[in-house]
């Protein structure tokens, strides 16, 4: 049992064929804290930081966190203020409170091929002006709140090719003035979202985003929901067997093009207090109530 602080650039990895578990000595301190750039942490099982983080990057850059298994921590992997140009890949993070958290200006990082599932809050959070990150090819299933969550002014992020299923609240949530993620210019594309309360939800002033080429099925409330979010593009999505297909509330000047909405338990597309939206070449079939509800 130990806590490790990395204060010089090193490669910290298990030996070939080995199996190394690092369990925290003090559950209120990160199991591994990284203070220096260009550090590699690879191949460990990291457990027990119930009041802290499994791996904590402290304002560092060009680190590679790969192939670790993290369980039973408060945060699985936490990137703190100003951690930039890092790679977080091929990790499994389960049974923690939070999976992966990029916080306060943690920019230009790649979060890919991770399995972030069965956590008691969210899977992946990008928050507080954390911009231009790529979140791709991850699995975020069975988390108790959001699968993937962009929050508080996090812009120009790309979310693509993720499998986001059976989260208790939102599959992908974009909130609090997170814009142009091409939200100001997030791209949400080619994701598969199944069995969430809401598949994709843009809220609270999230604008100028593109949501395209996603498959959204079996959502309890809505496949795609825009609330108080303007000037977004919703295009080429396939929405099947959701309670509602696409819903707008207080959202204006959006463009909705080439979407397929089928087998909804209520309406296909609904607008509430929303104006100046443009609909082109959408296909709506087998809605239980209305194809388009205004």
> Mean of the pLDDT values across residues 51-56?
98
- Whether the CB-CB separation of 91 and 68 falls below 8 Å is answered with yes
- Helix (H/G/I), strand (E/B), else coil: 185: coil
For domain 4-293, which architecture applies? 3 Solenoid (2.160)
Taking residues 169-191, report their average pLDDT.
66
When the pLDDT of each residue in the chain is averaged and rounded to a whole number, the result is 91
Pairwise CA distance, residues 48 & 42, whole Å: 18
Kind plus residue range of the DSSP H or E element containing 65: strand 64-66
Check: CB of residue 88 under 8 Å from CB of residue 65: yes
Rg (CA), the chain: 20
Structural domain boundaries in the chain: 4-293
Q: Which residues contact 210 (CB under 8 A, 6 or more apart)?
A: 182, 185, 186, 187, 188, 189, 232, 233, 235
Q: Could you tell me what percent of the chain has a pLDDT over 70?
A: 94
Q: Could you tell me if 198 and 175 are in contact, meaning their C-beta atoms sit under 8 angstroms apart?
A: no
What's 188's DSSP letter?
E
Per-residue confidence at 181, pLDDT binned at 50, 70, 90? low
State the pLDDT confidence band at 186, using cuts at 50, 70 and 90.
Answer: very low
d(CA 121, CA 94): 11
Quick one: pLDDT band at residue 206, thresholds 50, 70, 90? confident
Sheet holding 92-94, edge to edge: 20-23, 44-47, 69-71, 92-94, 115-117, 139-141, 163-165, 192-194, 215-217, 238-240, 260-262, 283-285
Instruction: Produce one character per residue of 57-69: b if its CB has 16 or more CB atoms within 10 Å, e if not.
Output: bbbbbebbbbbbb
The two three-digit tokens of residue 267, written as one number: 């309406």
Give, as one character, the DSSP assignment of residue 61. Answer: B
Residue 107 tokens, joined: 């920019």
Give the pLDDT confidence of 107-156 residue by residue, as tens digits: 999 999 999 999 999 999 999 889 999 999 999 999 999 999 998 878 88
The rounded distance, in Å, linking the Cα atoms of 177 and 249 is 16
Q: For residues 213 and 234, give the distance between their C-alpha atoms in angstroms, rounded to a whole number.
A: 9
Q: Are 160 and 190 in contact (CB under 8 A)?
A: yes
* 177 pLDDT higher than 70: no
Would the pLDDT of 184 be above 60? no
């Amino acid at each position: 049992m130990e806590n490790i602080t990395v204060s010089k650039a090193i490669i910290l990895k298990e030996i070939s064929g080995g199996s190394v578990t690092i369990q925290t000595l003090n559950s209120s301190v990160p199991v591994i804290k990284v203070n220096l750039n260009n550090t590699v942490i690879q191949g460990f099982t990291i457990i027990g930081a119930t009041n802290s983080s499994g791996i904590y990057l402290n304002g560092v850059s060009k680190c590679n966190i790969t192939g670790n298994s993290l369980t039973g921590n408060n945060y699985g992997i936490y990137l703190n203020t100003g951690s930039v140009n890092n790679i977080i890949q091929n990790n499994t993070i389960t049974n923690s409170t939070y999976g992966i958290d990029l916080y306060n200006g943690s920019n230009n990082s790649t979060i890919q091929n991770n399995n972030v599932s069965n956590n008691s809050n969210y899977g992946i959070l990008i928050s507080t002006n954390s911009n231009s990150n790529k979140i791709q090819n991850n699995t975020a299933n069975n988390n108790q709140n959001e699968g993937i969550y962009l929050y508080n002014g996090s812009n120009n992020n790309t979310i693509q090719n993720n499998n986001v299923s059976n989260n208790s609240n939102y599959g992908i949530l974009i909130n609090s003035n997170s814009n142009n993620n091409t939200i100001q210019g997030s791209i949400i594309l080619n994701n598969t979202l199944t069995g969430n309360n809401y598949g994709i939800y843009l809220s609270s002033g999230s604008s100028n985003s593109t949501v395209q080429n996603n498959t959204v099925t079996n959502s309890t409330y809505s496949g795609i929901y825009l609330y108080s979010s303007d000037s977004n593009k919703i295009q080429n999505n396939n929405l099947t067997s959701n309670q509602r297909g696409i819903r707008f509330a207080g959202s204006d000047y959006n463009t909705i093009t080439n979407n397929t909405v089928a087998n909804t338990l209520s309406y296909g597309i609904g607008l509430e207090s929303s104006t100046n939206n443009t609909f082109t070449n959408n296909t709506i079939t087998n809605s239980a109530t209305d194809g388009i509800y205004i």
